[in-house]
Structure formats: C-alpha cells, structure tokens
C-alpha cells in the first residue's frame, strides 16, 4: 500500500486526486488535507456569487488534456445553455470538479481509495522510508509521498510609513478573506491597491451590489487587464528566440512583432498568444538574473495581455469609468492615515515628488499573492524552511523544484518523497496557474507518484497549445450586464507606449552578461526600436 498525502484542496490538489484515482494500477491510499470547509476549492472557486466568472472560455476548461471540452459537455448534460466561448460562473466549475472527484471515487480503481481530512498540516518530518505529517488537533499521519498543493498566499502589505494603519479595520490585507462589502454604505468610497484580476473581480461585485460610492484603483502603472476577444492569429516566431538566454534579445524580437502586428492591424494579444505553447521552454532557459529583470520591468505588461478578463467584466469597467464613478490612477502608495471618518491614502504619481491624497472608507489590498515563501506567514512553510526540506525558487516565485514537480531542498538535493504543483511552480515553469497548465501538471505528477514509466506520462506542460486558439469575433455571454455606453473610455495608460518605454529600462546595464550575438550588459539603446504610437488594443 502506497500512502500519498495532498496538502491543499484547491483546484490543483483536487485535479491531482482525480488523476491519481484514474491512473492507479495498484493499492494506493490518497489523503487530502485542507483546513477550510469540506466544499472549499481555493479562494478563486469557493464563492457562491454567480457574477464571478471564469477567465477562460468554457471550451478550454476541460479537466483532461485529451478532452478540452469536457467541462462544456458536462454543463450541457446538466441542461445549462452554454456556448463554447461563454465565460461561466466559477461556482459551476467548482461543482464540475467535485463531481469528477466523486465519480472517480465510485469507480473501482484497483484498490485506490480517497479520504479528505479537514485539518491544517503544520509540520512535516522525514523518516527513513516515509514522512510524518503533523495535523493541528488531529495528531500524525504517515505518507510515502507528499504533495504541496498550497495555492496562493495573501498579498504582502504595502510599504508605508505609518505601519499602525495596517491594523485598521478599514484596511483589508486579504481580499478573498473579506466579506464586509455588504456593510458599506451606498455612497462610501473604496480604494483598491492594485489593478489586476482580483481588483476586477471585487469591482464587479460592488457593481452587482449597486454600490454608488466613488471607487479608485491605484497601481504603479495604472493599467488594466485586457479582455478576451476574437482576433486574427499571429504566426509563431519561437524559432527566432528559442536559443536565446538574454531577456533583451527576446524582448526586442517580441517588440518587433508587436509593431508588425500593429502595422497589419492585428491585435497585440495574438502576438503573445503565438508564444503560449513555448513560454515555459523560454522561461526554463533564462538565467535567474534575467528572470529577475523580467519581473522588474516587464511582468505587468505581460500579465495584462496574457491574463485576460471576461468581456462582461470589461463592459462593467467601461460603464463605471464613463460615469466617473471609477478612477484608475498610476502611482505608488506611500502612506495611509486613519482618521475619524475614514482613511487617507497617500500616493505619488510616476516621476512625481509631491504626495497626493485620496480619502476612502475602505482600502483593499489587491496587489497579488505573496510568492516569496520566506515572507509568508504559514506554519508548515516556515517549518519546511527550518528543516531545509524546501528553498525559494529562482526569482523567489514559490518553491524550488524540478520541472516535473520534485522539490529541491536547501542543499540542492532533489527529494524522493516531497513534490509540489500549481502556483508554487511559477518560478520553475512560469505558466502554471491556468487550467490547461494545471490539468497537465496533475496528469503528469499523478503518473510520477504512481511510478509509471516515462512513456506512460503525459507530455510536459510546455507542449500545451490549445490556449493559443482564438475565439470567434462574436460571442454570446451567459451573463450580460445592463450597460449604456455613450463612448468607449480610453485606458489610463497606453499599453503600447508603456511597453515601448520599458525598452529603455531593460537596456540598462545588467549585473551579468547574456549569451548571444551581443551583450545585454552594454546598455546601448536600440535605435531601430524607438517608441512609436500604437493603436489602442481593447
């Protein structure tokens, strides 16, 4: 009997359990540990609000790589009218995954069994042939293999002078652990720190509640995620950059194709999508210093183009901006000061010396999950670090591991019993949190844990290609907000111009030189890539 412990019951952990049950060829006991409720599936899928939509169309959300439309078929079997390019409620996807796990348990899988244990794993100790999990209030549990499917951690606090403000009830550090929007008065103001997908989700929630107060989003660059839309595909140019380990070389090639797409009237999203099947290979080849440069200078621009929002959410944003209720401000948070009526948020505009102030009844931290495991406040992670069983990954994005998921310890040794997947693998594979990536990780890691040969394992995640397929120009959304738009609002900052400006930043001298036809460390400007106005992509 092989004991496999899965720590975490989010999407990654549950899909791994499904695949272990499906692939099992011998006696295996699967135990999944989660400190939340029995129906918990991570922050993204645990809400019962119907307005929270998936960020990927239904036709790509199947749980199995061999059948990307499996979810869509399941939805139709339930009698729900949905098209392939609809963005369905997340709670519906949670029900789908739960049903898969229940079905897998009911099927005879050569002695495989599954148990979900509600309790927090706070420590893990290594024995001679197995590990021992310490579960708060429930004792110890043995396991031959342990998988860290820990999901996302709450965001770090902003760096401000007045640290006392971080304990104010008017400040929300973890947006997904907060349920106080219903207590807001209709005309009270809200400030979001950040302008990514989390902010968009919460903003849609305020809209659906009929909130009438002012809403402000402050982020360093003041740019929003792009929405899904139909567009002409762009041919892959991976062959031009596949041998490069220099970020500037890769960036210049991408910029050249972005300009070419703009010249031809092709949406810039298609350029980034053309690299989607090969993004993991590019990331794996980059030295750590180059990965850090990417995170400093380009991450946000890549993220807003790659991680898109449903068209319905984009329409709501346009409505709120057109009415003046929503304001997107580029700036850096400097301080927060609570007073009798609310909380003052002090920020400086890009390049600005003077601080400006916006008043709010509530401030919500939406800067994104903490990815540096040495900064997280999690007892298990702290103990794993203390024992030397894990170490931060390159660029401090999650846990260091082999591409297949085997964890690498403090001294550089590859563990024979400890594995990880999902967001903890972002530093290794970069593209790891979309369903097409997670389902492949789950299939592959399940085979590895069960001892299948390499020929029996699914392909590496970097071979995924379905995500590059473009939807048709016209789609019929399941949820359509009631909107009246007189004109489309321009974005706060031109994404194209911002990316152009980033060229100069990346061209600054690097700490290490890159291989290739020239050195990135020279810092010489590329005169052939002078910033030029682009058509706004929406």
- The three-class DSSP label of residue 166 is helix
Tokens of 508: 């600054």
pLDDT digits (tens, 9 = 90+) for 369-393: 999 999 999 999 999 999 999 999 9
pLDDT digits (tens, 9 = 90+) for 17-42: 999 999 998 889 999 999 888 788 98
pTM: 0.85
Q: What percent of the chain has pLDDT over 90?
A: 67
pLDDT-based confidence at residue 109 (cuts at 50, 70, 90): low
Query: 438 and 15 in contact (C-beta within 8 Å)?
Result: yes
- Ranking 92-96, 340-344, 474-478, 505-509 by mean pLDDT, the lowest is 474-478
Q: What's the mean pLDDT when you consider all of the chain?
A: 84
Q: Does the pLDDT at position 530 exceed 50? A: no
Q: How far apart are CA 326 and CA 483, in angstroms?
A: 15
Longest dimension (CA), the chain: 69
Q: Does the pLDDT at position 54 exceed 90? A: yes
Q: Which residue has the higher pLDDT, 45 or 107?
A: 45
Q: How far apart are CA 120 and CA 477, in angstroms?
A: 39
Q: Which residue has the higher pLDDT, 538 or 257?
A: 257
Planar angle of CA 69, 75, 77, nearest 5 degrees: 105
Q: How far apart are CA 68 and CA 94, in angstroms?
A: 16
Phi, psi of 416 (to 5 degrees): -100, 0
pLDDT digits (tens, 9 = 90+) for 309-359: 999 999 999 999 999 999 999 999 999 999 988 999 999 988 777 889 999
* Mean pLDDT of all residues in 401-421: 96
- Ranking 261-275, 347-361, 451-465, 509-523 by mean pLDDT, the lowest is 509-523
Q: Does the pLDDT at position 526 exceed 80? A: no
Q: How far apart are CA 1 and CA 4, in angstroms?
A: 10
Q: Does the pLDDT at position 455 exceed 80? A: no
Q: Which residue has the higher pLDDT, 10 or 502?
A: 10
Residue 379's closest CA among 217, 150, 171, 214? 150
Query: Residue 128: its pLDDT value, please?
Result: 82
Tokens 């003041």 — which residue?
222
Residue 132's closest CA among 121, 119, 122, 143? 143
Q: Does the pLDDT at position 246 exceed 90? A: yes
């Amino acid at each position: 009997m092989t004991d496999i412990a899965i720590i975490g019951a989010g999407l990654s952990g549950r899909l791994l359990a499904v695949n272990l049950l499906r692939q099992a060829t011998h006696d295996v006991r699967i135990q999944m540990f989660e400190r939340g409720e029995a129906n918990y599936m991570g922050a993204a899928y645990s809400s019962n609000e119907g307005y929270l939509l998936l960020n990927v169309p239904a036709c790509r959300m199947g749980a199995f790589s061999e059948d990307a439309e499996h979810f869509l078929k399941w939805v139709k079997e339930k009698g729900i009218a949905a098209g392939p390019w609809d963005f369905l409620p997340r709670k519906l996807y949670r029900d789908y995954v739960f049903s898969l796990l229940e079905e897998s348990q009911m099927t005879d899988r050569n002695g495989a069994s599954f148990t979900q244990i509600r309790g927090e794993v706070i420590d893990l100790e290594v024995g001679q042939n197995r590990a021992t999990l310490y579960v708060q209030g429930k004792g110890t549990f043995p396991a031959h293999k342990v998988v860290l499917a820990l999901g996302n951690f709450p965001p770090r606090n902003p760096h401000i002078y007045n640290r006392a403000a971080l304990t104010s009830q008017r400040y929300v550090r973890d947006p997904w652990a907060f349920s106080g929007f219903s207590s807001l008065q209709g005309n009270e103001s809200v400030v979001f720190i950040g302008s990514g997908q989390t902010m968009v989700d919460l903003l849609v929630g305020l809209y659906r509640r009929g909130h009438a107060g002012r809403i402000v989003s402050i982020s360093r660059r003041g740019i929003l995620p792009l929405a899904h839309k139909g567009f002409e595909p762009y041919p892959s140019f991976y062959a031009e950059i596949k041998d490069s380990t220099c970020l500037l070389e890769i960036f210049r090639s991408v910029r050249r194709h972005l300009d070419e797409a703009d010249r031809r009237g092709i949406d810039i999203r298609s350029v980034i999508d053309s690299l989607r099947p090969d993004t993991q290979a590019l990331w794996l080849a980059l030295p750590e210093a180059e990965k850090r440069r990417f995170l400093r200078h380009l991450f946000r621009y890549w993220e807003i183009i790659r991680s898109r929002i449903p068209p319905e959410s984009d329409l709501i944003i346009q409505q709120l901006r057109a009415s003046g209720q929503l304001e997107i401000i580029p700036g850096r948070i400097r301080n927060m000061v609570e007073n009798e009526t609310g909380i003052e948020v002090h920020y400086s505009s890009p390049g600005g010396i003077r601080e400006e102030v916006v008043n709010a009844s509530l401030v919500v931290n939406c800067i994104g999950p903490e990815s540096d495991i040495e900064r997280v406040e999690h007892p298990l992670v702290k103990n794993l670090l203390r024992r030397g069983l894990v170490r931060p990954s390159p660029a401090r994005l999650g846990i260091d591991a082999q591409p297949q998921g085997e964890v690498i310890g403090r001294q550089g040794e590859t563990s024979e019993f400890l594995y990880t997947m999902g967001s903890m693998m972002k530093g290794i594979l970069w593209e790891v949190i979309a369903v097409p990536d997670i389902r492949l990780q789950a299939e592959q890691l399940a085979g590895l844990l069960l001892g299948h040969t390499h020929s029996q394992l699914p392909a590496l995640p970097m071979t995924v290609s379905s995500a590059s397929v473009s939807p048709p120009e016209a789609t019929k959304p399941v949820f359509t907000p009631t909107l009246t738009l007189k004109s489309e609002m321009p974005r706060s900052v031109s994404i194209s111009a911002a990316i152009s400006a980033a060229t100069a930043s990346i061209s600054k001298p690097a700490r290490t030189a890159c291989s290739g036809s020239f050195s990135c460390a020279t810092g010489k400007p590329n005169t052939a890539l002078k910033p030029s106005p682009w058509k706004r992509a929406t």
